Every structure is written in C-alpha cells, then in structure tokens.
Amino acid sequence: MSFRSLRWAVGLAVACLVLAPPALAQSIEVDPADPTLEVGETQQLTGYYVDAEGERQRDTTIAFFSRNGRAAPVSRSGEVTAQAPGTHTLVALRPASGGQERLMTEVTVTVSQAPVAEVAFADVPSRVFTDTQVPVRAEARTDGGQVRDDVQIQLESSDPTVAEVDHLHRLSGKASGTVTLTARAEGQEATAPVEVVENPVASLDLTGGADSARTGDVLDFEATPRDANGAAVDDAPVHYAVRTEHTESIAPGATAEIGGDGRFVAEDAGQYTVVATSGSHTATHTVSVTPRNLDGRIEVVGRGRVSDVHTSDLWVWEAPADGRDYAITGTWGGDGEAYFWDVTDPANITPVDTVTVDARTVNDVKVSDDGRTCIISREGASDRKNGIVILDCADPTEVSVITEFTEQLTGGVHNLFIYEDHVYALSNGRRYEIINIEDRANPEIVSQFELETPGHSIHDVWVDDGIAYSSNWEDGVVLVDVDNGVQGGSPANPVEIGRYAYPSGWNHAAFPYDDEETGKDWVVAGDEAFPNGLNTENEPTIPAGWIHFIDFSDPDNPTEEARYQVPEAGSHNFWVEGDTLYVAYYNAGLRVVDLSGDLKGNLYEQGREIAHFKSFDPEGRIPNAPMAWGPQPYKGHIFFSDWNSGLWAVKLTSEE
C-alpha cells in the first residue's frame, strides 16, 4: 500500500466516525455542588455518576482530593473541613475502569470567615495633649480569638470638638475634656475613655546633630518638649521632618531622611534643615552636607588564573610548616578539584598542589586557625555520599587526605566553617551539623542546629566569638550561641540568641561587625538571587541582591538600618575588617566600602564606596564576564576569587 492509499483509508475511517450518532457525555456530579462553610465547619460531599443516558446514580468509587489541603482538606470519601477562608478547589475523581475513561470534576468550596465576636482596643492612650496627634488601634476578633484584618473598623469620638479620629485612626486632641472612643464592626463594639488635657509644652529644644557632615554620616538629633518651668514633658509626641535646600542645580532624587528616632543621613551634598514638631511648637537645625569624596583605587598585584573550570570559594593563610602564605580555591561544576597556591609574593602567585576528590563541585574551602587542617565540601559525588573531606595542609605543597566524613551529610555540603576544633557543616541545606575534629581522622558529630519553621532552609554558616551566624533564605539570619556563653551554649548544646528575616527571602551570607565607635553590634547580611538566570557558558550573568545592615545590639529586637546596593548587580560573599567592608559583588566585581560611624540608608548612594574593581579577563571561563565570588583581606592585600577567572590579588591605594 502506498502512503497515498494509507491516507485514503484513514480518511474514510474518520468520516465514518464523524457520521456516527454522538453519544451523550458521561459525567460526575457532587452534592452539594457549591458547598459553603464557615471556618471550622465540616461537610460531607456525595459523588454521583451520570451515565451516557443521563441517569444519575450514587457512586462510592468516586474519590475526593483537595488542591489546597491546608485550607480545605477533604477525605477520600468527601468529608471536607474548612480551615481557612477563601475559595478552594476540590477534585472528585471517578477512576478509569472496565474500559471507561477516568472522569473528574472540580468542586469549588467557599469558606467564609468566622463572624466577628468581639471588637477591642489594642492600643489607645488614656490621655492625650491638645494640639497633638497619636495613633489608635482596634481589632476585630472571632470567637476563637483570630484577628480579622479584613474587617473595616469604624472609630468614632463622642465629642469631636474635644478629640477627633480621622480615617487613618489617628486621634487628635482639640480641647480639654473627656471623650469616649467607640470602635464598631459587624454589630460588635468596644469603648475606651480618653482624657484630653491642655498641652503643657511651652518650648521645644532640638539638640545633637552637627552643623556640617559628609554624605553618609549619621547624625543623632533629639527634640525635647519642655513646659513653662523648663521641665521635660516626656509623653508629648514629637515628629521629625527634613527640608532640602540643594546647593547644586542638578535635580537629585530622594536625598536625605530622618527617622522617628531623630537619626538623620544625607545621600547628596546640600543644605538640609531638620524640623522637629510637638504640638504647635517647632525647632529647626540646618546641616551643611559635603560629598564624602573617598578616593580609593584598586591595583591588580597578581593573578592565579583558572579558566578551564569555574572557581568557587577561597581561603588565605600562613602555613605552619614554612611560614609562607598560601591560598586554597575550590571549583564549581568541574572535576572535584581544590587548588593550592603560594601567595607569599602576591605578584607571583604560584600553583603548588591540587587535591581531587569524588565530586563535581567543591563549593567551600576552609582552613583551621592553626593552619594545619583544610576542609573542603563535596557536592555531586558519584556515590551520592558527598560530605566533607579533611586534609592535612600543614605543608600546602604536599597536601594529603586525612579522611572523608559523610555521616548525616549525604545530601551535599554547600558551606562549612571551622571553629575551635569543630566543623559546622551544612547538611542538605536543611541544618548544620557540629562535628568535633580534635581527632582529625575520626570526626564525631556532637550536635546539630535546625530551624523549626515550615520549609526552612539554610545556605551558610559563619562562626565568630562563639556565635554561629547562619543564613537561611526566607528565615533570614539566625544567631546561635555555640561557645560564647551569652545563652550558655556550647558545640554540644547550641542555643539560639536571636533571628531576623527580611521580605525578599534572599538571605545567603552573614558576617558580624561590632563597631567600637558606636558600640553597635551589626550583622551584615547578604543576598543572592538570579532573577535573570545563570549563564554557565558564553554570556555574562546579571544577578540581583544587596547587603543588609542589621543592628543586633538588642538580639530580641534586631532592626534593619542600612543597605549597600549596587544597581544592576548581585551580591555574593563578603568580609568585614575594621570599619571596611569587602564585597564580592558578582558582576559588579570587588567593592570596598567605608563603614565608619553609624549606618543608615543606602551606603552606595551616600558615596561610602571607597573603590571597586571589575575582574574582566579575556581568557576567563566566560571571557570578560566579572563574577566575583568571595574576598579576603590578608596582610595588606585583598585576595578574591572570581567564578570565571580564578584567584586575584589586589591592593587598595589612594590618589596622591
């Protein structure tokens, strides 16, 4: 038969099929078809099979499942429970059997909120001053105590001539007297008495700050309301604002800010007037801000080019065997190699040894304080046991494998840290294991630390002064006492100190920075994000993310105060030494940033960057595509690894 004949036969058959009388479609139906429940209720659904003749019959083979098992779980037999408000989809499924095709239908379950059972004031002052404004907060709650944020609460004053409430629930004192505030929602109401008293403030002092500053300098202002006798009125509200008077004609963006705590900072040069207000009283202070004008330069001193494989992390140290300086670098997506370099003369970086292990990626490399022990991480091992490999690197020209350790680490170790005879090694991005390596040939797990949040995940851990700083993506930075004593922690008994998360969920690395000048304990937290993907061949990559400065001075109430954000680029690893931050900012290269003084706002916009260097290399793994991975300041030089070009040694200089 020719192909033409075949087509004719198929066409004839299809025509017969088309001309045949159509059969009615089979289906399944569910009772009730549109179930509606309140949170907490359950309801039994019933499935029916409707055959080709339209006859409907109960069918217990119909199975149910939920597409949102947390909000509306359903049993196989159709008992649905309303757990969360909204519309949720269930599926009723009649399995394929006896030549009959599988039938499915969706059932939309509408779950309404439980009604408001109570309205209550959550935050209301018992006394306010005339000519001042304070926020008021009321909540609508269900019988189970759940707060209904979706409910509009009406607030009303019994006498607006004494005290008035606006649409943003701000209470303004108008005249002396007493009012009753009433909050109403869904037929429920609550009341609260508020006394309005004559504002005793007779003057307002504005102190602190400075007459002049540089961009990025944080100035502390303090406004003090005083009565006629000069005594401070502590409960009189104060508001701050800043007025800009530019000294340059070029139109700037947002250039200065002052917070509710009186901390002021400017991004641009100019004159700024800080305005403090309390009631009808104001006080001002004008600051002249000049450019920071940091004039750093980065000079390339030496290279250890790696262009046949991507490079990962680095560590630089002095070897005890000969007192010379060495560096170790890892490899990414390669053959499981770690390279050792003699960097004693940074202008003549020389490869001295290579260790190859069963892995595709050696993402992290760390060296013990005594310089005798190197530990490298493994991912992509052919036996899928991964784990870590402990090396004797006392003589980096003849490195030997002491042992590998894979217990609890088979999911791959992405990062690790060595601190006082213990290794802190990530396990499958889920937790970190704490491993005693006093006997290097026989490591022993002594404990682990894992978060309790749903879907938690960890990316990095760094230990300093007995505190482990872990970076946990959506869960942010977590501080754990592992030998500091602040919480009685030890390697065998890690105890959490505090944590801080930010909305992007990009937390990738963390580094402590205790500022002696301000006395603040900062945790510098870095992002990693690839919204534009990662190009492993041929093209440069444009990552995203920045550096967050979190004031952890009060571990119970950490606050994010500043950032360092380079546009169109993405942060990676970093290091703080003294008041200087060194950032490997992927496609933006190596960045050196001045952290002196207090921190607030965007340090990049403030001109706090001392210098930067983009590691272009025409012979790189991807040519001319800077991808700085990790920096380390060491003995007056800055060493950094670049994903596309290997090891660099540079020096920070300033113009004559």
Partner 1 sequence: MHFSRFLVLAGLLLALTAAPTFAQDYYAYVASESADEVALVRFDGEEATVEETIRVGRIPIETEGAHGLTVSPDGAHWFVSIAHGKPYGRVAKYETGTNEKVGTATVGMFPATMEISTVTGLLHVANFDLHGEQEPSSISLVDPSTMTEVEKIETGIMPHGSRFSPGGRMHYSVGMMDGTLYEIDALERTVTRTLTLDGDTPKPTWVQSHPSEPLAYVALNGGDAVLEVSLADWRVTRRFDTGEGTAPYNLDVTPDGETLVVTYKGTGETGIWDLTTGERLARLENSRTVTHGVVTTPDNRYAVVTAEGVGGEPGAVDIFDLKANERVASVDVGQQAGGVAFWKMEPTTAAASDASN
Q: Toward partner 1, which CB reaches closer, 213 or 547?
A: 547
Min dist CB 567 to partner 1, Å, is 21
Structure token pair of residue 84 = 């969360």
Please state, in angstroms and as integers, the Cα–Cα distance from residue 474 to each residue in 174, 283, 323, 432, 467, following that order.
46, 42, 43, 17, 21
Q: What is the DSSP letter of 77?
A: T
Which range of residues in 9-17, 150-158, 266-274, 282-290 is near partner 1 by CB under 8 A?
Answer: 9-17
* Contact between 201 and 129 (Cβ < 8 Å): yes
Among 32, 65, 400, 439, contact with partner 1 (rule: CB under 8 A): 65
Q: Cβ–Cβ contacts within 10 Å for residue 596, how many? A: 14
Q: How many CA atoms lie within 13 A of 423 on its CB side?
A: 36
**3-class SS shares of the chain: helix, strand, coil, % to 5:** 5, 50, 45
* Contact between 323 and 317 (Cβ < 8 Å): no
Min dist CB 383 to partner 1, Å, is 9
Residue 97 sits in the site that holds partner 1 (CB under 8 A): yes
Torsion of CA 109, 110, 115, 116, to 10 degrees: 120
Q: Toward partner 1, which CB reaches closer, 68 or 290?
A: 68
Give the three-state DSSP class for 349: coil
Handedness of CA 11, 12, 14, 19 (dihedral sign): positive
Residue 380 sits in the site that holds partner 1 (CB under 8 A): yes
Which range of residues in 11-19, 33-41, 322-330, 463-471 is near partner 1 by CB under 8 A?
Answer: 11-19
Q: Which residues of 508-538 are buried (b: 16+ CB within 10 A; e: fewer)?
A: bbbbbbebeebebbbbbbbbbeeeeeeeeee
Residue 78 sits in the site that holds partner 1 (CB under 8 A): no
Min dist CB 539 to partner 1, Å, is 13
H or E segment to which residue 276 belongs: strand 270-278
Structure token pair of residue 584 = 């490997």
Q: Toward partner 1, which CB reaches closer, 291 or 533?
A: 533
Sole residue written with tokens 């009808």: 280
Among 32, 54, 69, 485, contact with partner 1 (rule: CB under 8 A): 69
H or E segment to which residue 328 belongs: strand 325-332
Residue 384 sits in the site that holds partner 1 (CB under 8 A): yes
Q: Toward partner 1, which CB reaches closer, 291 or 531?
A: 531
Q: In terms of Cα–Cα distance, which of 132, 134, 135, 162 is closest to 279?
A: 132
Q: Toward partner 1, which CB reaches closer, 351 or 411?
A: 411
- Give the per-residue contact string, 443-482, with partner 1 (x = CB under 8 A; - = no): ------------xxxx--------------xx--------
Residue 3 sits in the site that holds partner 1 (CB under 8 A): yes
Number of H helices, E strands in the chain: 1, 55
Question: Would you give the distance in Å from CA 401 to the centre of its chain?
Answer: 36
Structure token pair of residue 612 = 């930067």
Residue 70 sits in the site that holds partner 1 (CB under 8 A): no
**Ranges within 204-243 binding partner 1 (CB under 8 A):** none
Residue 80 sits in the site that holds partner 1 (CB under 8 A): no
Among 209, 302, 336, 633, contact with partner 1 (rule: CB under 8 A): 336
Residue 313 sits in the site that holds partner 1 (CB under 8 A): no
Min dist CB 571 to partner 1, Å, is 12
Which range of residues in 13-21, 172-180, 242-250, 596-604 is near partner 1 by CB under 8 A?
Answer: 13-21
* Contact between 277 and 225 (Cβ < 8 Å): no
Q: In terms of Cα–Cα distance, which of 584, 636, 651 is closest to 615?
A: 584
Min dist CB 45 to partner 1, Å, is 16
Among 408, 436, 487, 565, contact with partner 1 (rule: CB under 8 A): 408
Binding-site size for partner 1 (CB under 8 A) equals 67
Q: Toward partner 1, which CB reaches closer, 7 or 170?
A: 7
Q: Which residues of 33-56 are buried (b: 16+ CB within 10 A; e: fewer)?
A: eebebebeeeeebebbbbeeeeee
Q: In terms of Cα–Cα distance, which of 292, 143, 120 is closest to 191?
A: 120
Q: Toward partner 1, which CB reaches closer, 88 or 548?
A: 88
- Give the per-residue contact string, 165-204, with partner 1 (x = CB under 8 A; - = no): ----------------------------------------
Which range of residues in 46-54, 122-130, 315-323, 409-417 is near partner 1 by CB under 8 A?
Answer: 409-417
Which range of residues in 131-139, 226-234, 355-363, 607-615 is near partner 1 by CB under 8 A?
Answer: 355-363
Binding region for partner 1 (CB under 8 A) = 1-6, 9-10, 12-14, 16-17, 19-20, 23, 61, 63, 65-69, 76, 89, 91, 93, 95-97, 102, 104, 309, 332-336, 356, 358-361, 379-380, 382, 384, 408, 410-412, 414, 427-430, 455-458, 473-474, 528, 530, 533-534, 536
